[in-house]
Amino acid sequence: MPTLIKLADGRYSAAEDVFTIVADEDAIPEGPVILSLTRFQAEGDALISAGRPVGVRILPDEAVEDLAYDLPRLAVVALVFPKYADGRAYSSAALLRQRFAYAGEVRAIGDVLREQAAFMVRCGMDAFVPADGSTAEDWAAAAGRYRHVYQRAVDARAPVFEERG
């Protein structure tokens, strides 16, 4: 099982992943599931009504706006990085947090590498499934490489101009 790393209260830890990512062509298993956007739009309501934790995975060219009304009921939004260089998930995460005040888990999946950890965290992602074997310690180190940041982002880090007082 690939490691799931969660960020909570500023700390990174390996976590058990209770969610199953369900491919569109597969039957939906028991327990918490993460569905594609289209499948969620078709079958999501029923699962949520049945009391199951449900998540949606968003591809880079899918709009988080399409989830706007469902977000309060979603346990997880998983943002897919088909290739690490596809930076659309950063905007998706920022919108989820800032535009829609989404309070659930925003998870990075796909080509997720520690070299981009800091950007993911600053954009509001709080769960990560690394593709490069990174441990929680690796992730924390990567996310903490910079003592200062120049701009405000989704996270609570004070930009340099606030540090200067």
Residue ranges in contact with other proteins by CB under 8 A: 60, 84-88, 90-91, 94, 98-99, 113, 115-116, 118-123, 132, 145-154, 160-161, 163-164
Name the strand (E) or helix (H) holding 53.
none
CB nearer to other proteins: pick between 36 and 116 = 116
Alpha helices (H) along 16-158:
37-49, 88-94, 117-122, 136-143
Name the strand (E) or helix (H) holding 162.
helix 160-163
Structure tokens at 8: 């909570």
Q: Is 79 helix (H, G, I), strand (E, B) or coil?
A: strand
Q: Which amino acid is at 153?
A: A
CB nearer to other proteins: pick between 70 and 86 = 86
CB nearer to other proteins: pick between 90 and 139 = 90
CB nearer to other proteins: pick between 8 and 152 = 152
For the bound state, the minimum distance from the C-beta of residue 64 to other proteins, rounded and expressed in Å, comes to: 10
